[in-house]
Structure 1
Amino acid sequence: MQLQFLGTGAGQPSKARNVSSLVLKLLDEINEIWMFDCGEGTQRQILETTIKPRKIRKIFITHLHGDHVLGLPGFLSSRSFQASEEQTDIDLYGPVGIKSFVLASLKVTGARLPYRIHFHEFDEKSLGKIMEDDKFVVYADKLDHSIFCVGYRIMQKDLEGTLDAQKLIEAGVPFGPLFGRVKNGENIILEDGREIIAKDYISEPKKGKVITILGDTRKTPASVRLGVGADVLVHESTYGKGDEKIAKSHGHSTNIQAAQVAKEASAKRLLLNHVSSRFLGREVSQLAKDARAIFENTHVVRDLEEIDL
């Protein structure tokens, strides 16, 4: 499981940073990639990675500002050009309005997709659990931005314990169907009369990962709720230390406020993105340094950076 950042800038692209988009790679878990926001130029950024567009099966949009959605029509159209590969449907989650935006864009440009888009729109009254399958559950909560905007909490369900095959062999269990019965939690009796207790050969369930990905927001209790105990919290850092007043007026956060959220939520790791283009070089390092004074495990991400979870 990895996060890869396709765009980490705020508002408009710069030479160093494209606008907002990131992907959660779940290739080992479910052979899928999930995208969060799709700002202008996202499909161009993908060309610099190993990402196969057909593997992107779900897209989650935090809000409808252009720097988070204007890349969608182009990406969805280009995704259909993978003629030599299997065409797969895509699920698109986002605030009410995302469906009309996408369909209007595709219609006026004459785009015809060889796959279906399944739209899942929500408003303030329909937040909470927005998706669940046998491996993951996703929650959304309203943040505090200049327009309706959400953050997402992605929770991997606990993983089943693994079978200690070597220990079974050492106990004299012949490889074959008996292994499967033990793996399924069934106690077995060997030919010599010994009983093999299944739980003694299966590890404890492994706690699933929690990933919190926030859209644009002022500091708000919802950010803390979404980030409680998260293995990784992705939080915007449009502004820096001392910029609280302008951050509030524009509906954004500073690096300090992001660090405070991570600390209050007892998150394990804070990744700062959505960085203003006025922060360059040493100033970016200072963003991280100032935030670490409050929450030590802080990192300012850069475009195309991949983070193992």
Structure 2
Amino acid sequence: MRKLTILGTGFAMATKCFNTCFFLELEDGSLFLTDAGGGNGILRQLEVTGFDYQKCHHMFVTHGHTDHVLGVIWIMRKVADLMNKGKYEGTFHIYCHDVVKEMLLTMTKMTLKKKDFARVGTDIVIHEMKDGQSVEVPTAKLTAFDILSTKAKQFGYCLNFADGMKFTCLGDEPYNEHDRVYAEQADWLLAEAFCQYKDREVFKPYEKNHSTVKEASELAEQLGVKNLVLYHTEDKHLDTRKQEYSAEAGKYYHGNVYVPDDLEVIPL
């Protein structure tokens, strides 16, 4: 059974939950990681889940903001260390756009041990993706797409599985019509929802180029999405977030709504 494990649900400056990132467990048992938060806290999050690095050979990085890319350095260090100890077989593939690729190469060259950095480019391969480009990953076809961010360049992706399931990650900014083909009629849509609509004057989501629960839910309804996962939120209402966000989403969207907590597992 496919599973989605949410490693973090919070925005960049969240202190009460981890930054937004997650991994998929695919039907063949392999793991597919997306983003890694803003530091080595990613190692703890993965450890708590029982994450098996040997089963993870593919990762997607959406963009170069601190809360998404800095943890990737720690993942690369961890994998390189495992390789050097003979505890990781095969190649670790990272998919991202050109800006993130350059960031990862620059930061790892500056910060990793020489023997760890020596793995980059040979056993740890960073693949530069173009808008609309597809590659084969275990059990699915991965297609990257530019979300046309008004801030930093950012890509989302769509996974199309052999059995017809369509899984789409929109990144952490509002939807752009450029990407309709990847999001429309998705079985699973992962979308940011910074706060409730009633709290928009408090958290100022539009100033940060983010959406509220209302907009994300209206989008999912419009696109005919079956299952909607809301994350990348403010962290001031964690005790009531699941209940309140789900209730607001239900006013605008008639599919299944998931407002996960950190480390929550969702069967797909």
Whether the 8 Å contact between 2:8 and 2:18 is mirrored in structure 1 is: yes
**Which aligned pairs between 1:98-109 and structure 2 lie closer than 5 A?**
98-109=100-111
Residue matched to 1:57: 57
Residue matched to 1:238: 194
Verify: 1:149 aligned to 2:154, yes or no: yes
Residue matched to 1:259: 217
Deviation at 1:223, TM superposition (A): 5.3
Whether the 8 Å contact between 1:244 and 1:253 is mirrored in structure 2 is: no
In 2, distance between residues paired with 1:106 and 1:217?
27
Distance change in 2, residues 1:252/1:209 (3 Å):
same
1:307 match: secondary structure: strand
Supply the RMSD in Å over aligned alpha carbons.
2.1
In 2, distance between residues paired with 1:72 and 1:86?
17
- Max radius of gyration: which structure? 1
> Structure 1 stretch 263-272 or stretch 88-97: which is displaced more?
88-97
In 2, distance between residues paired with 1:10 and 1:133?
28
Distance change in 2, residues 1:91/1:133 (3 Å):
closer
Whether the 8 Å contact between 2:231 and 2:260 is mirrored in structure 1 is: yes
TM, length-normalised to structure 1: 0.76
- Cα deviation, 1:67-120, whole Å, max 9, x if unaligned, reads 011101111111233335233211111121222222222222242335612222
Verify: 1:14 aligned to 2:15, yes or no: yes
Deviation at 1:9, TM superposition (A): 0.6
Residue matched to 1:302: 261
Distance change in 2, residues 1:95/1:279 (3 Å):
farther
In 2, distance between residues paired with 1:222 and 1:34?
25
Residue matched to 2:228: 270
Verify: 1:75 aligned to 2:75, yes or no: yes
> Structure 1 stretch 253-262 or stretch 218-227: which is displaced more?
218-227
Distance change in 2, residues 1:109/1:150 (3 Å):
closer
Distance change in 2, residues 1:223/1:7 (3 Å):
farther
Aligned residues: 254
Identity over the aligned pairs, expressed in percent?
26
Distance change in 2, residues 1:94/1:272 (3 Å):
same
TM, length-normalised to structure 2: 0.86
Distance change in 2, residues 1:37/1:133 (3 Å):
closer
Distance change in 2, residues 1:308/1:283 (3 Å):
closer
For structure 1, the 5+ residue unaligned runs are 159-207
Deviation at 1:217, TM superposition (A): 1.2
Distance change in 2, residues 1:94/1:147 (3 Å):
same
Residue matched to 1:210: 166
Residue matched to 1:47: 47
Deviation at 1:242, TM superposition (A): 3.7
Deviation at 1:229, TM superposition (A): 1.7
Residue matched to 1:90: 92
Deviation at 1:244, TM superposition (A): 5.7
In 1, distance between residues paired with 2:68 and 2:88?
27
In 2, distance between residues paired with 1:99 and 1:220?
23
Deviation at 1:5, TM superposition (A): 0.6
Distance change in 2, residues 1:219/1:244 (3 Å):
farther
Deviation at 1:66, TM superposition (A): 0.7
Whichever residue aligns with residue 281 of structure 1, its letter is D
Whichever residue aligns with residue 93 of structure 1, its letter is Y
Whether the 8 Å contact between 1:39 and 1:66 is mirrored in structure 2 is: yes
